[in-house]
Amino acid sequence: MFWPDTISKILSIKYPVIQAPMFGVSSPHMTAAAARAGCLGSLALADLSPDQSVELIRETQKLTDQPFAANIFVHHIPEITDTLKEKYSKAKQFITQLAKENNIEVTLPDLEDLKVNSYHEQVDAIIEEGCKILSFTFGNLDDNSIQKLKENGVILIGTCTSLEEALVLEKSGIDLICVQGIEAGGHRGSFDAENIPQIGGISLLSEVYDHVKAPLIYAGGIYNGKTLRAAKELGAKGFQVGSILLASQESGLNPFEKERLKNVTEKDIVLTRSFSGRYARGIKNKFIKNIENSEYIMPYPYQNKLTNELRRVSKTLQNADFVGIWTGQSIHEYSMFSTEDILTKLIEAAEKES
């Protein structure tokens, strides 16, 4: 049998293939489409409020009766200090002026107007809504949350970008570990927001496999049958894919963003903290060139909140220079078929080459 059945049995899915949670791109419809392909759909809840999280969970439950994972950010929220206030004010002024110079009129929020959510209330909402799979990134859940979730029969999937992080997750009793190679698109799942491990997928997966007993899911650069098979050879029991779904019918990207993807080259793809304050891999543009390595980057989530309105307005203007388009290092044809079709073809390609 080609497919490892360890994770399939744990998650009650046909294939151990997981649609990556991509906040702003994935949606309840993408989650349901992944489930129709026999895979695990992921519902990206990021750091939304509990009420917003419940709304998306219920919408997804109306679309599918199959298992899906809710996905949240478990980041540390930095304290607001006088230094942070001063830095935020300068960044707001600079970004507002940069936008204006590029014909974008935008009113960015003041620091005191930002609503910052902790994940703890999301955990309670996820339990109350009957979600039985929770994946998370940017760190590890606290002990009380882990105990509460396990008492309610929730399967936990943590994200690591280093062996050290994997060992922390395993010691905490996390059921499955997603190993995220540096090739992966979108935000790094690293525990530390700034000093991120930059370890290639082959090295990282091999190292974690040799030291960790928990079943491993691999994420980073999987876009066809051969790349999936490579991850399997290195010990992965599950396979998470995201970038291959960016231009799918269910993707939240706008047509102009999907068009930019189709013209991307390897030189265009960079790691940047410019938009959110955490490192993410995506397409270099004018905003990134002006902000990266500058003094105008707040820690997450403050930078993310600061630039949110700029990205929203830029989308309405179809201006690709001021939106974050996240994608991984594997350049490929970004299919515009449905998520279900794309995943089905990936599964068939992996089996064909076995």
Q: What CATH superfamily classification does 1-77+116-246+333-354 receive?
A: Aldolase class I (3.20.20.70)
Give every CB contact of residue 103 below 8 A, 6+ residues apart in sequence: none
Walk along the chain (354 residues) and give the pLDDT tens digit of each residue. 799 999 999 999 999 999 999 999 999 999 999 999 999 999 999 999 999 999 999 999 999 999 999 999 999 999 999 999 999 999 999 999 999 999 999 999 999 999 999 999 999 999 999 999 999 999 999 999 999 999 999 999 999 999 999 999 999 999 999 999 999 999 999 999 989 999 999 999 999 999 999 999 999 999 999 999 999 999 999 999 999 999 999 999 999 999 999 999 999 999 999 999 999 999 999 999 999 999 999 999 999 999 999 999 999 999 999 999 999 999 999 999 999 999 999 999 999 965
For residue 238, list its beta bridge partners: 217
Give every CB contact of residue 312 below 8 A, 6+ residues apart in sequence: none
pTM: 0.97
Q: Where in the chain is the domain with CATH 3.20.20.70?
A: 1-77+116-246+333-354
- Taking CB atoms within 8 Å and a gap of at least 24, the contacts of 219-222 are 219/20, 219/159, 219/178, 219/179, 219/180, 219/181, 219/184, 220/179, 220/180, 220/181, 220/182, 220/183, 220/184, 220/328, 221/181, 221/183, 221/184, 221/328, 221/329, 221/330, 222/330
Say which amino acid occupies 163: L
pLDDT at 1: 72
